[in-house]
Structure 1
Amino acid sequence: MKSDRLLSILLLLQTRGLVPAGELAERLEVSVRTIYRDVEALSASGVPVYAERGRHGGIALLPGFRTDVTGLTEDESRALFVLAAQGAHAALGLDAALGSALRKVMAALPAPHRPAAELTSRRILVDPARWMTPEPAVDLDVLHTAVFTDRRVQLSYRRRGATEPGGYLLDPYGLVVKAGVWYLVADKAGEARLFRADRVVAAAIVDEPVRRRAGLELADVWETLRHQVEHRSTETRVTALVHCDRLELLRRLHAPRLIGEPVPEGADGVWSRVELGFDVPMAARSLLAFGEGLRVLAPPEVRDELARTAAAIVKLYGGDATRPGA
């Protein structure tokens, strides 16, 4: 709608100052000619807006002009209060700031929208943390400070399967929280790497400017790393049948290892065929936790590994538990 577009232009100019007409056109998905017509409409309605011609020109408001209108619809107001998800803000120490910001937004909302926004904040709760997610061993404040002060960071970090932590000198791009787990996205010797905060043993800010690769932002590096994780090659592909009662648990615990979508097996839909990727056959031992609710079909070496492990457990618990070595 034209009224929404005019308000969007007004708020963008109020926030950004001088904005090229081409950028406004791109952001609002209209032509540059339409933007100039909208500017004329704003000017005719009394808004002190003007256009500067030339290579470095653009559209701007007269200095000092401000409007208190938020331009928020009822649904937009409700969406802002759903955004107040607990977890991420608390981890960064921003809970108080978020509460203060939302109180200011509530005060600025049009009166008819306030009841819906307030009700949303009381009826909708978003908790992004996964069940049984380990707490980070290091205070996120250290990583947060390194990211925002553009400093290098020295980590003592325990990689998966390692018995001792290793040392890493990193150039951070930023922090990402995914499914309740915090990650530091950083370069190590010019190569993008991903570090889970809950595996950081210690972190210290290095008094050296960060050395990021030119032209790359956090979103760019994260997209590359995310793609690598989701499409990484695995040496062992496991085919299994999982009972419908265990399927959701399998998704939660082994989401990074799932290859493709589960395929219903049989007419009753009780079982689904799934494929998972493991680095080595021994890593598939974790599937024993699903008991009779998951049956590995292939490959044979994984079935043998699970059978050996299950037999060892039976031997351990099948004898006299009071005798050492029984």
Structure 2
Amino acid sequence: MNTSKTQSISILSKEIVQDIENKNRNKNLIPTGFQYLDDEFSGLSLGELVVVGGRPAMGKSQFVINLVAHVSQTEPVLFFSFDLTSYTFSARLLSNKTGIPVQNIINKALHDSEKESIKKAAQELEQSNLYVSENGLANIEETLTIIREHVAVHDTKIVVIDYLQLLSIGKYNNGREAEVSHICRLLKMCAKELNICLILLSQLSRAVEVRGSSKRPQLSDLRDSGSIEQIADKVWLLYRPEYYMIEELDDEEFTPSDCILMVIVAKNKNGKMGTSYFKRDVPFTRFQSIQKPGEAFTFNVKRLIELEDPNKKDEDDATVPF
């Protein structure tokens, strides 16, 4: 009997006990850089397949670019940009780092100060652990080969594929749904075998658009779903109510939906499910993790003086803004 790939549960359980006693950080966890997504839903883990789904215009690519900008500061990342050209991807990353709208960067409609900001951001990216593959064939076997090479050479920890519906096997005669399911199984096995986290972007079906008043996505909306929801370790569904002219969130405070992105954790094998909230800037360059939409603002504590005496101003600065 070949026991070269077996491990004793006695040893494995002792390792967990030792980690607990020594208060060691879980080496398999990788923070996304988004505080509340990490705190509430454990961020990312090695060996996982994470599916990020959304309808067009929800901001899937830019949200994941924001995530990658955080993670690549500490971990090697490989990004398969099947949907975007490498030039557009780079422009979006520079947009994220500078806050300059991506269309201004692409069209070169920039002030001198913005040009300097981009140059500085580009210099910072020279130290980045981020690699981009613009593999035009989008063939799953070639994609897996590139992943294995990068893991061997760069010790890659995070792989992003944008997006699932552009991947194919080649000659496959069992229907598209079966093909997508097979692709997902291959990616899941790859993530586990290489001990990496594989983030897979996916389109959602038009069922979201024809649904009643609520356009909140759900697992069954995964396009060509088949067994995607069964194979994935985590499923994050992106939702912007304002896109559907829904002016308020369905919370108790009826919070305005302006610039709010909801990441619905619809599946989480090793954690809880729920919703993580984000506030985006107007040009979609940056997403900020927030605890609750109604708390997505700041004020100066010194202004509390005026609640006691409206005529009393802080002696250091009588014009401190809210």
Task: Establish whether TM, by shorter chain, passes 0.5.
Answer: no
In our comparison, the structure showing a higher alpha carbon Rg is: 1
Higher helix fraction (1 or 2): 1
Q: TM-score range, shorter-chain basis?
A: under 0.3
